Structure 1
């Protein structure tokens, strides 16, 4: 009987020893899976961090693109803004041969609508240069000066100046002005 108990105990020890081995290998396999899972999680985190970094860089790139677009829009608005240059007009009207003038400025360009005195034969190159010099003397930032005695151009510019001086709305004048400039001064743009 002692022998039977001893054999039974020995069998139990062997079975429980193998079972413990199985538990340990399962635990180790589980640990390996957990470690693998951790590696996967780390890989996922690294991927997510990379994507986040890319998104941040993309966001910066988008912000820079938006800033560039805004700067271009501001530059375009400055170019399209039409201002009346009264001092230049007064200075031009004092020239011999000129009855009156209006000057509109966009960016660094000046457009002069000029009415000559009745005894003046026409706009000579010399008078045109004097007008350009007067405009640049008043505003040195002006690079190009375009002068016209075209009656339609003179009438439209005169109407624009009058409307502004009387406080009337000038909606749509910018587009009309650009079209008029392209027609009257085809070499200007």
Structure 2
């Protein structure tokens, strides 16, 4: 084998190794969900859920505009005029409010200590605490702080704050069977027809939703938290990372 042949052979071998490593790396970064509402197992994926500056609150700029162009667009669909803000990402919402009546009825289900139900223009998001769990002890303390208001506030995902510092992967004991039953009951108990119902017992999600409840009572609405909510649910309920704006 002459020198040119040996050189070509080494180049071919190096190329094969590089391709193998690339394929393995892509497989390792592929989002993998745990149980319902348990977020992504791979924390390296979390950064991609906060790419849009509209999902950050910068204290020097105040609260950014919230999907102004999209809110002015008239859209309808087959589900009783209930539609997601972005058809490629059903988690994005332009409004959120609590449904305490449905939440109270869900707490009558066996194994559920407490429940909170947040309703958007298209979907419902249910935060539950199951028997044997205490989110006061299990959650990060910062999810019950970091407020956002009309003049600013960084919230949970403000500039310079790494989203992976908060764990969204703990499933809080929620099984697929329990999540399915909660979704079924939420639709049956509500007067609205939801496109999708998302359920999580993640303690950080539960505590932040509880914090939203306190803020809503004080402010009368959750408008200031809409950007943060849109970011948070992408961490807790990842669907398709390729459609993130």
Alpha-carbon distance between aligned partners in 2 of 1:142 and 1:90, rounded to the nearest angstrom: 18
Matched, 1:96 2:147: no
What's the counterpart of residue 128 of structure 1?
Answer: 179
What's the counterpart of residue 233 of structure 2?
Answer: 181
CA deviation string 1:137-178 (max 9, x = no partner): 122411211111111111110000121123367453000000
In the alignment, is the contact (CA less than 8 A) between 1:80 and 1:107 conserved in 2? yes
Alpha-carbon distance between aligned partners in 1 of 2:173 and 2:115, rounded to the nearest angstrom: 15
Query: How big is the shift at 1:108?
Result: 2.1
Alpha-carbon distance between aligned partners in 2 of 1:71 and 1:171, rounded to the nearest angstrom: 19
Matched, 1:172 2:224: yes
Runs of 4+ in 1 over 3 A off after TM superposition: 68-76, 166-171
Larger Rg belongs to: 1
Flag the 1:176–1:165 CA change in 2: closer, same or farther, 3 A: same
CA deviation string 1:118-151 (max 9, x = no partner): 18x8212221111111110122411211111111
More relative contact order in 1 or in 2 (CA 8 Å, sep 6+)?
A: 2
Unaligned runs of 5+ in 1: 1-67
Alpha-carbon distance between aligned partners in 1 of 2:229 and 2:115, rounded to the nearest angstrom: 17
Flag the 1:123–1:91 CA change in 2: closer, same or farther, 3 A: same
More helix by proportion, 1 or 2? 1
TM-score (ref. length: structure 2): 0.43
Flag the 1:99–1:111 CA change in 2: closer, same or farther, 3 A: same
Matched, 1:148 2:214: no
What's the counterpart of residue 63 of structure 1?
Answer: none
TM-score (ref. length: structure 1): 0.55
Unaligned runs of 5+ in 2: 1-69, 77-82, 86-91, 134-171
Q: How does 1:33-182 map to 2 (within 5 A)?
A: 70-72=72-74, 76=85, 79-118=93-132, 122-139=173-190, 140-167=192-219, 170-182=222-234
In the alignment, is the contact (CA less than 8 A) between 2:96 and 2:222 conserved in 1? no
Flag the 1:165–1:145 CA change in 2: closer, same or farther, 3 A: same
Task: Provide the aligned C-alpha RMSD in A.
Answer: 3.1
Alpha-carbon distance between aligned partners in 2 of 1:170 and 1:136, rounded to the nearest angstrom: 23
